[in-house]
């Protein structure tokens, strides 16, 4: 029975209690739901929460730090496998972990991703700083291992995992399995590390008693069967262009039906989209290396042609350093081999190139096996959801900028964005899954919010405004939006004006950079409105940023520091501490890419 069905039955729960239960469990993993199920079962049998038995002595704690949801998903899978092996597991987000518990831990597995320039995910910042500080305890009794998720295309590959590994060791903890640093194609590495780590845990973990088995639960029935590894074949309803004819960017409003999927999402979540590569690119690539497209390979225990594999299973747009090295060696291309020995030069080389660019520039006869070994497996793209289920029901909306640029005399397009915008027709199927983002959540309905989202960063804030509208939230809403031109690039202009007229959107400040001689950006508007921004924060408003993380988010952060210094009469150090406190109390949240 699902939670939705509870509404139609005679139940001891009030409608408000059912709604609260839905909200609480919506983003829980299977392990978390199982634990809650067992906990509630214990209460029902004993008659009170205080009567539930204490946790057995032997316990494995799995901590995860996750920005987009990948690390959380991996950690949940590890926890499920541990539970299946009879290990008593506690799965905890670093953002919810009490640092005082560290002294009592004996077995610890850490799964953490890395952001931007080697920065920890938002939910792991506090623990990351605590372990690096003077108050961190000695951990001589802790056995641990670390799994890092990252991207070799970036300079500080898996830096956060390296930090945790080194700091735990410095505090006296013993690594039972070497740290594993995983690239974006991480399934095989995760499986190998999980097997080794759980074997090491079982070899030394004292059970201290039997672990209670979770009873079947109504809560568990509310979760969808669809996930990253088992996506739902949804229906594309519409993909209209929402920028003007003269706009430099092609931005699409994507509408997808989730009818009968059981998939649910909250404002702030992302949608994962699986896609196929452009068949024309696959055909050209095979021709350049002299391979017959009908030649067979085995993928996931199924035999497919190499051409089909290139379209459906391997990355052909996102170039990574490993390809440059592997292709250079396979094709005996000395220039590429030498280049790959210089990490900085390799990163510069791959900057605006795709896989096909390298092969066009350095065509070489290589085998199918060598090609497959050089490529990375296809990974889905994540898009911030631009709708609220309370408004659109069994639909999900996205705001997608189509990647389209000229380089090396050839037009280039993004794989997923062009797939959604150009290669899919209405009513065709697209494979999707929901990636919950607990690091980007609305506050209580009586609290105010400041939203900063230039360009397609507007997406989650459309979702926020729809949700606040349906919740009849009493807190005020303030949006900073920017783009290139008012006429061509004012995304969702009509909707935002309607929100304004109805009092849902209380304030909006706009920055169209190219409508005047001197460019103006959202960070300048923030400084201009600094007195009110600071007053809103002082009155309890929550602050949200969505969009480009490489530059925009940094510029906005600096603008906020300036505002707090000026209008809060604080030093630079105090202004930084002010924002850290907002972050630690979940009043400063970012969804950047």
Q: State the chain's mean pLDDT as an integer.
A: 89
Q: pLDDT tier at 214 (50, 70, 90 boundaries)?
A: very low
Q: Is 301 left (phi over 0), alpha (psi -120 to 50) or beta?
A: left
Residue 222 has pLDDT above 80, yes or no: no
pLDDT at 155 over 90: no
Cβ within 8 Å of residue 340, ≥6 positions away: 321, 324, 325, 328, 346
- What local confidence, expressed as pLDDT, does residue 56 receive? 42
Helix 493-501 to helix 459-471 angle, to the nearest 10 degrees?
30
- C-alpha 248 chain-centroid distance: 27
Q: What mean pLDDT is predicted for residues 520-549?
A: 97
Per DSSP, the residues of 479-506 read: EEEEES-HHHH-TTHHHHHHHHHTTSS-
Between CA 250 and CA 403 the distance in angstroms is 8
**Residue 395 confidence class, pLDDT cut points 50, 70, 90:** very high
pLDDT tops 50 at residue 6: no
User: How confident is the model at residue 2, as a pLDDT?
Assistant: 45
Q: How far apart are CA 229 and CA 272, in angstroms?
A: 11
Average pLDDT over residues 428-448: 96
Beta carbons within 8 Å of 345's beta carbon, 6+ residues apart: 339
Q: What is the dihedral of CA 260, 264, 270, 272, to 10 degrees?
A: -30
* Overall average pLDDT of the 478-487 stretch: 97
Give the whole-angstrom CA distance, residue 429 versus residue 411: 27
Q: What is the per-residue pLDDT for 206?
A: 67
User: At 558, is the secondary structure helix, strand, or coil?
Assistant: helix
Q: What is the pLDDT of residues 74-101, one digit of tens each?
A: 999 999 999 999 999 999 999 999 999 9
What value does the mean pLDDT take over residues 354-359? 96
User: What pLDDT is attached to residue 46?
Assistant: 41
172-205, pLDDT tens digit by residue?
A: 999 999 999 999 989 999 999 999 999 999 998 8
Q: Which strands form 395-401's sheet, in the order they lie side by side?
A: 381-384, 270-273, 429-435, 232-238, 251-257, 395-401
Q: How many CB atoms lie within 10 A of CB 485?
A: 16
Q: Examine the pLDDT at 208 and tell me if it is beyond 50.
A: no
The crossing angle, in degrees rounded to 10, of helices 321-330 and 343-350 is 100
> What confidence category does residue 67 fall into, taking pLDDT thresholds of 50, 70 and 90?
confident
Reply yes or no on whether the pLDDT at 459 is more than 60: yes
d(CA 254, CA 3): 28
Domains defined for the chain, CATH in brackets: 57-204 (3.40.50.360), 232-275+380-435 (2.40.30.10), 280-374 (1.20.990.10), 449-592 (3.40.50.80)
Q: With cut-offs at 50, 70 and 90, classify the pLDDT of residue 27.
A: low
**Which pTM value belongs to this model?**
0.85
Instruction: Report yes or no: 572 and 565 within 8 Å, Cβ to Cβ.
Output: yes
List the one residue out of 238, 284, 270 whose CA is nearest residue 440.
270
* Tokens encoding 395: 């639909």
Question: Quick check: 44 pLDDT over 80?
Answer: no
Query: What confidence score (pLDDT) does residue 435 get?
Result: 94
Q: Which helix (H) or strand (E) covers residue 111, if one does?
A: strand 107-113
Least confident among 150-154, 219-223, 456-460, 462-466:
219-223
- C-beta of residue 141 within 8 angstroms of C-beta of residue 168: no
Reference 384, options 437, 343, 420; nearest CA is: 437
Predicted local distance difference test score (pLDDT) of residue 23:
54
The structure tokens listed for 571 are: 């030093």
| Whether 420 contacts 430, CB under 8 Å | yes
Report the pLDDT averaged over residues 218-239.
Answer: 78
331 pLDDT tier (thresholds 50, 70, 90): very high
């Amino acid at each position: 029975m699902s939670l939705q069905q509870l509404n139609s039955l005679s139940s001891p729960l009030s409608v408000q209690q059912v709604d609260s239960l839905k909200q609480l469990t919506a983003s829980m993993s299977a392990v978390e739901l199982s634990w809650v199920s067992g906990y509630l079962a214990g209460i029902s049998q004993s008659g009170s929460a205080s009567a539930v038995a204490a946790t057995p002595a032997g316990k494995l704690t799995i901590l995860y730090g996750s920005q987009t949801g990948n690390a959380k998903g991996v950690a949940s899978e590890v926890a499920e496998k541990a539970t299946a092996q009879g290990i008593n597991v506690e799965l905890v987000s670093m953002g919810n972990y009490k640092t005082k518990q560290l002294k009592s831990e004996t077995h610890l597995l850490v799964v953490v991703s890395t952001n931007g320039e080697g920065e920890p995910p938002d939910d792991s910042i506090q623990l990351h700083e605590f372990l690096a500080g003077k108050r961190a305890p000695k951990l001589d009794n802790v056995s641990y291992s670390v799994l890092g998720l990252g991207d070799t295309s970036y300079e500080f590959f898996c830096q956060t995992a390296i930090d945790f590994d080194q700091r735990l060791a410095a505090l006296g903890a013993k690594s039972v399995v070497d740290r594993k640093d995983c690239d974006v194609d991480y399934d095989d590495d995760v499986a190998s590390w999980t097997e080794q780590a759980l074997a090491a845990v079982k070899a030394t973990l004292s059970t201290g008693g039997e672990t209670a088995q979770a009873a079947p639960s109504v809560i568990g029935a509310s979760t969808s069967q669809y996930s990253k590894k088992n996506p739902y074949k949804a229906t594309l309803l519409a993909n209209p262009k929402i920028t003007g004819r003269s706009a430099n960017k092609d931005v699409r409003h994507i509408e997808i039906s989730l009818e009968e999927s059981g998939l649910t999402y909250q404002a702030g979540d992302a949608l994962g989209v699986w896609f196929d590569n452009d068949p024309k690119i696959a055909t050209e690539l095979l021709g350049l290396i002299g391979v017959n497209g009908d030649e067979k390979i085995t993928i996931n225990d199924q035999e497919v042609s190499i051409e089909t594999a290139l379209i459906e299973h391997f990355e052909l747009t996102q170039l990574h350093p490993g390809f440059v090295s592997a292709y250079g060696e396979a094709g005996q291309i000395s220039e590429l081999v030498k280049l790959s020995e210089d990490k900085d030069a390799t990163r510069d080389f791959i900057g605006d190139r795709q896989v096909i660019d390298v092969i066009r520039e350095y065509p070489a006869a290589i085998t199918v096996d060598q090609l497959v070994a050089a490529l990375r497996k296809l990974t889905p793209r994540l898009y911030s959801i631009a709708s609220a289920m309370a408004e659109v029901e069994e639909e999900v909306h996205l705001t997608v900028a189509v990647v389209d640029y000229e380089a090396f005399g050839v037009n280039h397009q993004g794989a997923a964005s062009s797939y959604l915008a150009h290669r899919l027709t209405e009513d065709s199927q697209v494979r999707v899954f929901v990636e919950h983002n607990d690091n980007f959540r609305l506050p209580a309905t009586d609290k105010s919010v400041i939203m900063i989202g230039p360009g397609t960063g507007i997406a989650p804030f459309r979702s926020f405004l729809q949700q606040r509208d349906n919740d009849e939230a009493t807190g005020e809403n303030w949006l900073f939006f920017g783009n290139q031109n008012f006429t061509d690039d004012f995304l969702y202009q009509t909707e935002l004006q309607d929100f304004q007229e109805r009092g849902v959107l209380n304030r909006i400040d706009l920055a169209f950079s190219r409508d005047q001689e001197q460019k103006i950006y959202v960070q300048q508007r923030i400084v201009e409105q600094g007195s009110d921004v600071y007053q809103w924060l002082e009155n309890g408003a929550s602050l949200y940023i969505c969009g480009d993380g490489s530059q925009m988010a940094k510029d906005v952060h600096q603008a906020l520091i300036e505002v707090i210094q000026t209008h809060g009469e604080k030093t630079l150090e105090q202004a930084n501490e002010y924002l850290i406190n907002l972050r630690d109390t979940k009043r400063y949240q970012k969804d950047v890419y």
